[in-house]
Structure 1
């Protein structure tokens, strides 16, 4: 005899309440770091150690934030999924635009200038590679950081001065030396020395047919530890503002910062654009180059130009015996009035 109970379908057993709570806790623990990171990035809360160092890796964190989102969705945890989705969208909004070109129009009748930045790692960067890059890309101007007397002699011996005969150079031992080499005539505007003892060579460059140009070889203090983070913050805020009614300013060099640093974005807010961001090359990592370092690459080196300047291309290039890659940019300067 078959009873009514025997004919009822078997319902799946619900997981024990303890297991459901455990999964919820795990998903929240996965989500919370990404929420905190997104809030810090959006609100510019990246001051001090180790926030200054960590915020540089925001693009990797943005990609990794998909993991807790997927876990929350698969485990049907509604609120963790919603919160994580908000964090993922916020991080994506911060980083994805640097993949998208927004170069726009160039100055009418503008003059093309090709520039390059090289951090020489205490003067050790290979001079032949530098000269070869200058010749290959028809570079008009190079900004050097960590430029020493030995580097100056090596560059001269390798033939850089035959290609870029005009220079403003401040060789220093270690990491504080700076220089600007140019195909065009230059005037020495001095050495901007920060309280940290890091400094930047400043040059006025007379480019035929273009407005007056001022160039600085940028190199604020490196935020490599808690003390360095403080001196980096004090240095980078002293980068000069653009002068829309005067000379075109170009800040070229190792900012020790990425687009995810609030203080670097504050520099851009002074009237500049980041050349790599303009052409959709904002993820071209320039540090570290040393293959012995197991560190994800980040974009610390930049060509930052007055908003009047057009940008055609940006690329990075291997630089033996340095921990940075060289950064090349082709710019278009507004014509002289």
Structure 2
């Protein structure tokens, strides 16, 4: 009797393991096909595709499980999905190693203030430690701007282009060097401010504090896509785009933006898998990399870093760039 029970238990475990292997493998294969197809369906795929690095890891686990169970067909499918997703994801963890221009440095810091409630003192301490030339803020409210000004932000950054708003739609650019305001990008009550920085080294750089709508629910994709597509393409003047893109390198509009002639600072330095959202207190949500510093390909990238800031769901990000 015990031998029959043990056999049944073993067979049951094996059946469940096989189902898991096929389920993970099949899902990963479909995911890889969609991700690499050049076609991006609407909701819920747009928010879901942000977790592609996690799916790539799951595909690898499915491969190991299928191989252990000697499921050749499942293992072959898992191998194809793992290779396909790995081809898209792994290069982000590898530094480019190319020759960078030996010009003037430009330090950029971007922070989403989560409707203005981020800790003012901690942000000022971060500014004091990193000494950025440019500070790009998102979700800047009138109250947050008042607190920052009282904390001495104008003394650190004498030049600014600000567009504070109640809620999540405000943004700003602060700089140590002169700024010429440009026309803000407006979509869905989200204002992405623009300005041209006159660097003392002689270069002129157009800056954008990036924050399109979040595609977190059905019906928001047109606003999100329009906000990303309205960002200036590379070519012409030097440009740096920094902030909360609400997009990862797996989103098609983001890939199209980079293909126009930009480079993502995290990707260039091998930190492209560092997640920037959510920052604490969001339960089991997988981390995703949606905050970026993106620079014209003619601009060098020396370093990239992810920081912490109390009171907000986003990690601030910084980069040290080199102007040609």
Structure 2 residue aligned with 1:207: 199
The Cα shift of 1:66 comes to: 2.0
Whether 2:94 is the aligned partner of 1:100: answer yes
The 1-side partners of 2:110 and 2:280 are apart by: 17
Deviation per residue, 1:107-158 (Å, 9 max, x gap): 24x1101101011111111111111111111111011111111111111111
SS in 1 for 2:114: coil
Superposed displacement of residue 241, structure 1: 0.6
Match of 1:90 among 84, 87, 90: 84
Q: Does structure 2 retain, via aligned residues, the 8 Å contact 1:44–1:261?
A: no
Q: 1:74 aligns with which of 68, 93, 98?
A: 68
The 2-side partners of 1:20 and 1:144 are apart by 53
CA distance in 1, matches of 2:215, 2:19: 35
Distance 1:216 1:91 in 2: 31
Quick one: distance in 2 between partners of 1:103 and 1:212? 26
Correspondence for 2:119 among 121, 126, 144 = 126
Report the secondary structure of 2:70's partner residue: coil
Q: Secondary structure of 2:88's partner?
A: helix
The answer to whether 1:261 aligns with 2:251 is yes
Give the corresponding residue for 2:166: 173
Name 1:4's counterpart in structure 2. Answer: none
Does the aligned pair in 2 maintain the 1:124–1:151 contact within 8 Å?
Answer: yes
- Once residues 189 and 184 of structure 2 are traced to their aligned partners in structure 1, the CA distance between those partners, rounded to angstroms, is 11
TM-score w.r.t. the length of structure 2 is 0.92
Corresponding residue for 1:16?
none
Q: Which has the larger radius of gyration?
A: 1
Structure 2 Cα separation of the partners of residues 157 and 25 of structure 1? 60
Query: What per-residue deviation string (whole Å, max 9, x for no partner) do you get for residues 199-249 of structure 1?
Result: 211011000114210000001110110112232122211111112xx4211
Query: Hey, what does 2:108 align to over in structure 1?
Result: 115
Q: What SS does structure 1 have at the residue aligned with 2:122?
A: helix
The 1:119–1:30 alpha-carbon spacing in structure 2 relative to 1, beyond 3 Å, is: closer
Residue 115 to residue 72, structure 1, CA distance change in 2 (3 Å): same
Distance in 2 (CA, whole Å) between partners of 1:103 and 1:291 is 36
CA contact (8 A) 1:103 1:311 kept: no
In 1, Cα distance between equivalents of 2:72 and 2:27: 18
Preserved contact between residue 201 and residue 217 of structure 1 (Cα < 8 Å): yes
1:149 aligns with 2:165: no
Aligned-residue CA RMSD (Å): 2.0
Contact kept? 2:240, 2:295, Cα under 8 Å: yes
Q: CA deviation at 1:164?
A: 0.9
2:154 aligned partner: 161
Q: Distance in 2 between matches of 1:20 and 1:214?
A: 59
CA distance in 2: counterparts of 1:45 and 1:98, whole angstroms: 21
- Residue 24 of structure 1 and its aligned partner are, at CA, apart by 6.3
